[in-house]
Structure 1
Amino acid sequence: MIEWEFGVADLARLRFAHSPLAEVVASAFALRGGADRWLQTSWRSRVTPSLPNWPTFRAVLLGPRGYAPDFLTPVPRTGRPTLAQELADVAATPLDQVVEQVVAGWAGHDAPPEIDRFVRDPRAALAELLAEIRGYFTVAIEPLWPRLRAAADVEIATRARAASEYGARMLVDGLHAKLDWTGSALLLRYPHKQGRWSLDGHDLTLLPIGFAGSEVYAMPDSPAGRALWYAPRGFGNLWTSDQRSTADRPLSALLGPTRAAVLTLLAAPHSTSDVAARLGLAAGTASHHLTTLRNAGLASAARAGRRLLYQRTLLGDQLTEADRP
């Protein structure tokens, strides 16, 4: 157990963000397997054959120690940074720091040429790493990006709404099964680890990262601030295909085929325009079905910026789960 000092007064300095680069790094961890392996099987089988295209990325993030250099996980400066903005921050990392952290990932092991290049020509090696991250993002993350961003938006909006109704403690209460908040500290259930951390006057940024899955990742020492990655509500739906036909199933008989298709689609957050585009519906028709599902308690809605995003409730999940062939 690790105890991270975080009192009630620190809630005023809490912020949320969603980071494309954090999704990249967490997805690299996911490629190794772990507790969520069964959820991500199809994603992993699609991405793994392309890994030889990114040898520097693979050497840095899939090395023998299961380690990601700290400079690749900067605390986001804004709530919704783009990948380009975050890579620009990484590119500004002092080269001696880049070399030290990359080499540390291979301590005690024979490093491949891609790692040795950081010692010989760190500027060129870093540029190659950033280019490969862009390529990896296009293949591995971009197809899921609308779902990942929408899930984070709904998580943040839901927590903000709960905090406005029940108090600021709701920003951190029940974040994750491996986390508890005592009112004075966050308790992190890390196997075989003991310790006590402090915010040391820094803000704490919470990042709902879809690829974090059942794990929690803490960054307690970053000079840019303190951060905690955890999965948003319903993260398991991120890898669920929404292309299953519902036309001949009981759910369709109960709700009608179109409304059943809408409910199936809401495994991940969608706006009215998203639903209309995905199912080929008029905007008014999509809005009608979404409102009906919401009124029936099968879907909920949360505002994310100017968008109203709908997602299945627990009751909606149970109904669609029971309808699976």
Structure 2
Amino acid sequence: MIRIEFAPADLIGLRFAHSPMVEVVASCLALRSRSERRLHPSWRARVGPLFRGPDLGTFRAVVCGPTGYVPDFLTPAPDTARPTLDQELRVVAGTPLDRVAVEVDRAWTGHRAPPEIDRFATDPAGGLAELVRQVRRYFALAIAPDWPRLREVAEGELVRRGLLAAERGPRALLADLHPKLDWDGAALRLAYAKDGDFSLDGHPLALLPTGFAGPDVYTMAESPTGRALWYAPRGHGGLWDRPASVEPPEALAALLGPTRAAVLTLLAVPCSTGEVATALRLAPATASHHLTTLRDAGLVVGERAGRRLRYRRTGLGEQLGGVSRPPAEGT
């Protein structure tokens, strides 16, 4: 059990954000994992050979060291809810070089390091510049094709948590966040194989939903840039393999009708009319009719992102549809 001291007063500093660099690092952890449950096999099949390529040697050596430690400077705690990759890489590039060298070395403590790692001891500025360049390349190859969907799922989580806090108070920010995470009013308790006690040390806590976390919760408890938890947002399983149909709870189906209840259940992740029609095998006009009815009832709301209109559940819709959570992949 890991305990992170977290009193009610700390709720004031609690914030949610979606970090591109957390997605980058979490995706590498997923690739490194031997568990196929973490992500859809098609993503692993596409990205795996790219990740092992020679042009990502420095990046791969830094994030996949034999100790299992990933340097904290790669994932600075965001100070905005929706940072861009460029914003975060500017922070990474500005990391004090002595800290860069120490953290990179820590990932290889007790092991013979490759030349890419040795460079950080003799030329940390050059090593860091090359690392940043390779992070950009990895993001373009592995993350960018799925970035719109990753952002949408995280956005749905951020909006949902904000609605819950507005309707039920700040304690709702932590309610049902993750099966492995619990708050007893004095500390966040994380069901984990090892034991440990951490303090926020005056830092605010950032909660960072990531589509690559899988069944795990990751802690960043020692970084000078802040404290953070990474976790899978609601609906993350649909990122990789959206089910062809959604089975709503019987009570919800009895209240709304089976098809309309299925639409509301599906909208745990924001969807367009076309995506609803495809997922539930409905005619586009039928999907549009159900979405309009749910919108008129105050259960969903449409939001435009560029040229696309996506629907998400309102606070009332969350209360009705939230009793059914789309299964995470592999569960």
TM above 0.5, one fold?
yes
Task: Structure 1: give runs of 5+ residues left out of the alignment.
Answer: 246-253, 277-282, 319-325
Q: Deviations over 1:263-301 (max 9, x none)?
A: 99968423569879xxxxxx999754533466899x855
Match of 2:89 among 68, 83, 87: 87
RMSD of aligned C-alpha atoms?
3.9
Contact 1:157–1:303, Cα closer than 8 Å, also in 2: no
Contact 1:163–1:170, Cα closer than 8 Å, also in 2: yes
Match of 1:165 among 161, 164, 167: 167
Residue 12 of structure 2 is aligned to residue 12 of structure 1: yes
Structure 2 match to 1:233: 234
TM-score, normalization by structure 1: 0.80
Contact 1:147–1:269, Cα closer than 8 Å, also in 2: no
Shift in Å at residue 239 of structure 1? 0.7
- What is the total number of aligned residue pairs between the two structures? 306
1-side partners of 2:179 and 2:190: how far apart? 10
Structure 2 match to 1:24: 24
Structure 2 match to 1:2: 2
TM-score, normalization by structure 2: 0.79
Q: Deviations over 1:4-28 (max 9, x none)?
A: 1111111111111110000000001
Structure 1 match to 2:217: 216
Contact 1:271–1:310, Cα closer than 8 Å, also in 2: no
2-side partners of 1:236 and 1:223: how far apart? 32
1-side partners of 2:200 and 2:305: how far apart? 29
Q: Deviations over 1:16-59 (max 9, x none)?
A: 11100000000010001255636331111100111213111111
Instruction: Report 1:289-300 matches (<5 A).
Output: 289-292=290-293, 300=300
Shift in Å at residue 120 of structure 1? 2.3
Contact 1:71–1:90, Cα closer than 8 Å, also in 2: yes
Residues 167 and 156 (structure 1), Cα distance of their counterparts in 2 relative to 1, 3 Å cut: same
Structure 2 match to 1:40: 40
2-side partners of 1:40 and 1:295: how far apart? 36
1-side partners of 2:38 and 2:142: how far apart? 17
Residues 302 and 75 (structure 1), Cα distance of their counterparts in 2 relative to 1, 3 Å cut: farther
Query: What amino acid does structure 1 have at the position aligned with 2:146?
Result: L
Instruction: Report 1:27-176 matches (<5 A).
Output: 27-33=27-33, 35=35, 37=37, 39-51=39-51, 52=53, 53-176=55-178
Contact 1:290–1:310, Cα closer than 8 Å, also in 2: no
Query: What amino acid does structure 2 have at the position aligned with 1:192?
Result: K
Give structure 1 regions of 4+ aligned residues with deviation exceeding 2 angstroms. Answer: 33-40, 262-276, 283-297, 299-318
Query: What amino acid does structure 2 have at the position aligned with 1:269?
Result: P
2-side partners of 1:304 and 1:21: how far apart? 26
1-side partners of 2:33 and 2:76: how far apart? 24
Q: Deviations over 1:229-286 (max 9, x none)?
A: 11100111111158x79xxxxxxxx96xxxx9x999968423569879xxxxxx9997
Percent identical among aligned pairs is: 56
Shift in Å at residue 192 of structure 1? 2.4
